[in-house]
Chains A and B, each alone.
Chain A
Amino acid sequence: MDGRIELIDATKEYKHAGSPPVSALNCVNLSIRQDEFVGMVGLNASGKTTLARLLNGLILPSRGKVLVNGLDTADLAQKKEIRRLVGMVFQNPDNQIINPIVEEEVAFAAENLNLSPAEVRRRVDWALEVSGLADLRHHAPQMLSGGQKQRLAVAAVLVMQPSYLVLDEPTSMLDEDGRYELIKTLQDLNRHQRLSIIMISHRMEEVAPAERIIVLHQGTVYLDGPPAEVFRSPRFALAGLKPPPIARLTNSLLRQGHPIDDRIVTLEQMVEFLCR
């Protein structure tokens, strides 16, 4: 079994009565490895959310296939396993939490998998630890900040021990603190737990540390590659996007002829380069 998610000629159309079908995704071919940190960007209506929901089988393609570690999302018998392998976190922190207590919320998915109480307990403890919420286990969700709620959503999914974590604009309703905490948690998960992170965002600084950026435009994959290449490509502006500030800084310095590493796109990278 290869550890990858594959989209093969995936197309998604929505039919409206009395008008031609609207194509949200058009013949998308993608392959994401089991330990990649991928950033997915694009304007509104570029198909990002539709693509995200194809990845764990919440919606099925109109044509083409989506395979998760070889399993077809269209195969009903594999639904639970696919949802277990590909965890999903959504944009609105409040509208994902159904239980009045943090601990119970995290346990929810584990219980849906019919695990033994001891196993549920073990996984809940681990998920809370890894998301930095161990102290808040007995709290009610409304007492949590936005960032903590999103980390709770992550913990609630981690408890299934997924191989992939898809996040659909998880930071758009958060403030700076919350955003920072969440992204740091995701980076740790990718590095230490070897979890693949697929993060959709419209803030370029957030996806700049990823190892790969996929740009969607009008339902197709417009660009796909390492951040520095993608940000520098002329097609990037055509997709209606602007590179993050540090990338623009790097480009500006390169144009002036300075010997700067052209792969620098994040703050950390710039500091490291200049202060060595």
Chain B
Amino acid sequence: MREMITGQYIMGDSIIHCLDPRTKLIGCLVVIVVAVWPRQTITILLFNLAFIIIVIYFAEVGVGRVLRGLRSLKLIFLLTFICQVFLTRGDPLWSWGSIVITRQGIDLGINTFLRLLILFLSASLLTMTTSTLKISAGLESLLSPLKYLRFPVQQFAMIINIALRFIPTITEEAEHIVRAQKSRGAQFDSGSLSIRLRTVMALLIPLLAASLQRATDLAWAMESRCYTSDGQIYSRVYKLHFAQRDLIAMGVISIVLLLAIL
């Protein structure tokens, strides 16, 4: 039995849920590109953030759930902010001995924090409102022009499919292994770094071993079902098609992009 994991798909029929996955993938990409673009002003980032928050509202996935997901990343946020604040040179605002806090530092700190926040929220939003199958179908469709460049789109889609199929299974396996190792006294949340490292090995190695076995077994099974790796037509249960709401959404995304560039 699992506890809720961050970014887990929540069933629903909000406007965002019903959008074509390709629209959502493109939207997510645009937001991410804007967020990691070098020399981005805080104003644009805040605007981006506001956009995402509005979309989250429309997605009806529950603000509380999203915030709880943020909690697990609070250490990363805090650490990055502190690093930027204390290690950036510039016009000093406050100092105490050799420790200096500069205006640029605060600026950069907030900037980086916002970027991380946007990355996390947009990715979570995508996975919370789109089932794995649709994400995979959307990716395959978007990448299909690449087959003219001899890019193995079918195989790539197969890889993504298998990865997405096994994420819940591997998550359960990981939980199972954690429980078993805890029953032998493993401390996954110990203070000491060296203990934590050793304990993490007790989780990663069994997972890796299981994955290797799984890969072998899957290969036998796929061969037994006449799979050959030369690409073949892979018909899908969901046929993707754009609807009016997708066009509207694309329009909104374009506006966001334009505002960011200009």
Would you call A104 and B237 a contact (CB within 8 A)? Answer: yes
Given A111-B232, A112-B225, A112-B226, A96 and B218 contact (CB-CB distance below 8 Å) = yes
A100 contacts B132, CB within 8 Å?
A: yes
Instruction: In the A-B complex, list the 10 residue pairs whose CB atoms are closest, starting with the nearest.
Output: A95-B217, A109-B225, A112-B226, A96-B221, A88-B224, A100-B165, A142-B168, A95-B214, A100-B133, A83-B226
Contact B161 A99 (CB under 8 A): yes
Q: Which label, helix, strand, loop or mixed, suits the secondary structure of the B interface?
A: helix
Q: At the interface, yes or no: B223 with Cβ under 8 Å from chain A?
A: yes
A190 to chain B, nearest CB (A): 20
Give which listed residue, B217, B228, B232, B234, contacts A96 with CB less than 8 A.
B217
Given A100-B133, A100-B161, A104-B237, does the pair A142, B169 have CB atoms closer than 8 Å?
A: yes
Measured CB to CB, the residues of A under 8 A from B are 53, 56, 58, 80, 83-84, 87-88, 90, 92, 94-101, 103-104, 107-109, 111-114, 117, 120, 140-142, 153, 156-157, 160
Contacts of B223 in A (CB 8 A): 58, 83
Q: Judge whether B226 and A109 touch: CB under 8 Å.
A: yes
CB of B73 within 8 Å of the partner chain: no
Residue B36 CB within 8 A of the other chain: no
Partner of A87, one of B161, B165, B224: B224
Q: Which residue of B lies closest to A88 (CB)?
A: B224
- Pick from A99, A140, A141, A160: contact of B226, CB below 8 A: A160
- Restricting to B54-80, which residues have a CB under 8 Å from any CB of A? none
CA distance A153 to B217 in the complex (A): 13
Closest to A166 in B: B224
Write the nearest CB–CB distance from A221 to chain B, whole angstroms: 24
User: Is B50's beta carbon under 8 Å from chain A?
Assistant: no
6 other contacts beyond A99-B165, A113-B226, with CB at 8 A cut-off? Answer: A56-B224, A87-B224, A95-B217, A96-B218, A100-B136, A111-B234
User: How long is the Cα–Cα vector from A153 to B220 in the complex, in angstroms?
Assistant: 13
- How many inter-chain residue pairs (CB < 8 Å) link A and B? 86
Docked pose: A241 CA to B165 CA in angstroms:
39
- Specify which chain B residues have a CB less than 8 angstroms from the CB of A113 in the assembled complex: 226
| Residue of A95, A109, A111, A117 with highest tally of chain B CB at under 10 A | A95
Q: For the complex, is B91 an interface residue (Cβ under 8 Å from A)?
A: no
How far apart sit A92 and B232, CA to CA, in the bound complex (Å)?
Answer: 27
User: B27 → chain A, closest Cβ, in Å?
Assistant: 22
B: interface residue count bin = 20 to 34
- B135 CB → nearest A CB, Å: 10
Residues of A near B158 (CB, < 8 A) are: 98
A54 to chain B, nearest CB (A): 13
Sample (16) of A-B pairs whose CB atoms are under 8 Å apart: A56-B224, A80-B226, A90-B217, A92-B217, A96-B218, A98-B161, A98-B221, A100-B132, A100-B133, A100-B161, A104-B133, A104-B236, A104-B237, A109-B226, A111-B233, A160-B226
Q: Which residues of B contact A (CB under 8 A)?
A: 131-133, 136, 158, 161-162, 164-165, 168-169, 172, 213-214, 217-218, 220-228, 232-237
Report yes or no: B165 in contact with A58, Cβ–Cβ below 8 A: no
User: In the complex, A142 Cα to B170 Cα: how many Å?
Assistant: 10
Interface of A is mostly: helix
Contacts of A84 in B (CB 8 A): 226
**C-alpha spacing A83/B224, complex, angstroms:** 6
Q: Once the chains bind, are B168 and A107 in contact (CB under 8 Å)?
A: no
Q: Which residues of B contact A56 (CB under 8 A)?
A: 224
From the candidates A109, A120, A141, A156, name the one contacting B165 in the complex (CB within 8 A).
A141
A157 with B237, Cβ < 8 A, contacts A97-B165, A101-B133, A142-B168 known: no
- Nearest CB of chain B from residue A130's CB, rounded to whole Å: 17
The complex places the Cα of A10 from the Cα of B227 at a distance, in Å, of: 26
> Bound complex: CA of A98 vs CA of B221, how far in Å?
9
A111 interface neighbour in B172, B224, B235, Cβ under 8 Å:
B235
Chain B residues, CB < 8 A from A112: 225-228, 232
- The docked-state distance in angstroms from the alpha carbon of A120 to that of B169 is 28
Within the complex, what minimum Cβ distance (angstroms) separates B77 from chain A? 31
Residue of A whose beta carbon sits closest to that of B210: A95
- Kindly state the separation between the CA atoms of A112 and B154 in the bound complex, as whole angstroms: 13
Cβ–Cβ contact B225 & A83, under 8 A: yes
- How long is the Cα–Cα vector from A101 to B237 in the complex, in angstroms? 9
One of A90, A120, A142 near B235 (C-beta < 8 A): A120
Question: A58, B220: Cβ atoms under 8 Å?
Answer: yes
Q: Which chain A residue has the least Cβ–Cβ distance from B236?
A: A104
CA gap between A80 and B230 in the complex, in Å: 14
Distance in Å: Cβ of B137 to nearest Cβ of chain A? 10
Kindly state the separation between the CA atoms of A31 and B151 in the bound complex, as whole angstroms: 46
For B165, what are the chain A residues with a Cβ–Cβ distance below 8 Å?
A: 97-100, 141
* Chain B residues closer than 8 Å to A141, beta-carbon distance: 165, 169
